[in-house]
Structure 1
């Protein structure tokens, strides 16, 4: 797919994180297809920034498993890789399990209400088949635990490991099977409201591991997720 024709999406004053997020999202939503070459000059025109934040973003994408640098040639969009996706899923599930365990004892009524509101938006987005809105609502739901768990390293690990799962999440949230996540979220909230940190932790882990039903060729795996 060609580079989007709209130019100057970002002003130069915006942070390099915005450049990274734009490139990440373009890879995840298929604007840039697997194997496609990411050309600095075209990206500069599209995003309206200099080469430095572009190169920094591409390095972050490479670390996240969404891009591959071919020495002396170019950076290309990484193809889907089952092994790395499963590895990322295991890490992300474990981090959200830990976040729930740490955060539940400190949750306020306001934070629980935020989770309920996010889950309601999530359910509506799935009903409307709005994958982008579903992703945002799902992030808002899980971010409550991550933001209030008291572990400052945990969000950094999630930032590193979650992007490679976005392709699978987009497919999952576009399917009818995603409706089960609404009830899984409700169960997490119930455990949290009861002060059951272990129950919320297990339910959070299982919610993320449910993505395995969207992974292709899962029947060839030698070990269960």
Structure 2
């Protein structure tokens, strides 16, 4: 779709990370569609910043596979490629499995409470058809063990490849939501019981419920 006609200008002191996140989120939520050309001048005007942080953000998005940059020609939103999606999904699943295996047994009651609260928000958002809120709640739930792990390398890799998985997941979100909420509750219960092996296995399997073939785009 075209660049939105209006958007609240971001503060002039905006850090490059903020520009990156705004563009990343616009790709993940479908504001910018697969195959759409992105012009740094238009994006800079939309965000109310100079072209420099936009160009830096586009380079980062290229390294994560969300855009395809052709030097001297154009930058476009990448198509949802089956192989790239499978690779990203497998990495994300493995790192969440690691985080759960290493932290179950030392998650606090507050951690468990945050996970349950996130699942309640997930369920409510899914019931009203708010995909964005549902996926944000899902992110919050799975972020608890990652935060407890405190491994900066794991967080960096998830920051890079997680959006690829979420982008595809938005396309298939819907009928699976009730089953996902039930899986969340079973997963939280395992974490609360301190069953690290079972919880880690379930974390890995949860990310593999995303069927890569069903989300491949032909455009």
Q: Indicate the TM-score class for this superposition, using the shorter chain for normalisation.
A: over 0.9
Residue of structure 1 equivalent to 2:71: 71
Give the distance between the partners of 2:136 and 2:59, measured in 1 at CA: 25
SS in 2 for 1:76: strand
Report deviation, 1:29. 1.9
Unaligned runs of 5+ in 2: none
Residue of structure 2 equivalent to 1:144: 144
Give the distance between the partners of 2:134 and 2:9, measured in 1 at CA: 24
Residue of structure 1 equivalent to 2:190: 191
CA contact (8 A) 1:102 1:150 kept: no
What are the superposed Cα offsets for residues 69-120 of structure 1, whole Å, 9 maximum, x if unpaired?
1122011111110110011000000011001011112200011000000001
Give the distance between the partners of 2:209 and 2:73, measured in 1 at CA: 38
1:76-87 equivalences under 5 Å are 76-87=76-87
CA contact (8 A) 1:172 1:178 kept: no
Residue of structure 1 equivalent to 2:32: 32
CA contact (8 A) 2:82 2:213 kept: no
CA contact (8 A) 1:171 1:214 kept: no
Give the distance between the partners of 1:216 and 1:37, measured in 2 at CA: 21
SS in 1 for 2:4: coil
Q: How many matched pairs?
A: 216
CA contact (8 A) 1:7 1:45 kept: no
SS in 2 for 1:176: coil
Instruction: Give the structure-2-normalised TM-score.
Output: 0.94
- Which protein, 1 or 2, shows the higher relative CO under an 8 Å CA cutoff with sep ≥ 6? 2
CA contact (8 A) 1:93 1:208 kept: yes
CA contact (8 A) 1:172 1:214 kept: no
Report deviation, 1:39. 0.6
CA contact (8 A) 2:10 2:49 kept: yes
CA contact (8 A) 1:101 1:198 kept: yes
Give the distance between the partners of 2:47 and 2:215, measured in 1 at CA: 33
CA, structure 1 residues 7+182, in 2 after alignment: closer, same or farther (shift >3 Å)?
closer
SS in 1 for 2:75: strand
CA, structure 1 residues 113+9, in 2 after alignment: closer, same or farther (shift >3 Å)?
same
After TM superposition, what 4+ stretches of structure 1 lie above 6 angstroms from structure 2? none
CA contact (8 A) 2:171 2:215 kept: no
CA contact (8 A) 2:85 2:212 kept: no
Instruction: Give the structure-1-normalised TM-score.
Output: 0.91
Report deviation, 1:187. 1.1
Unaligned runs of 5+ in 1: 218-225
